[in-house]
Amino acid sequence: MKREIIKILCCPSCKGTLTLSVEKEENGEIVTGAFSCAQCKITYPITEGIPDLLPRETDGS
């Protein structure tokens, strides 16, 4: 997954800006990491280069 993708992605819940945190990067591509939305306080994991941006309910507990 290219780092530049952050520029075209937005939070699927609030359409706000996502913050990217990279755990593992190879050849300029992000392999493992996470997107997070400060507004929704939701983290969307990136696994094997695939971002999981499915909307989800916040755990209210």
Residue length of the chain: 61
From 6, 10, 20, 40, residue interacting with Zn ion (rule: CB under 5 A):
40
d(CA 10, CA 41): 14
Question: For 1-61, where are the alpha helices, taking DSSP H only?
Answer: none
22 binds Zn ion (CB under 5 A): no
For position 13 contacting Zn ion by CB under 5 A, the verdict is yes
Candidates 14, 21, 50, 55; binder of Zn ion (CB under 5 A) is 14
Three-class DSSP category at 17: coil
Q: Enumerate binding residues for Zn ion (CB under 5 A).
A: 11, 13-14, 16, 37, 39-40
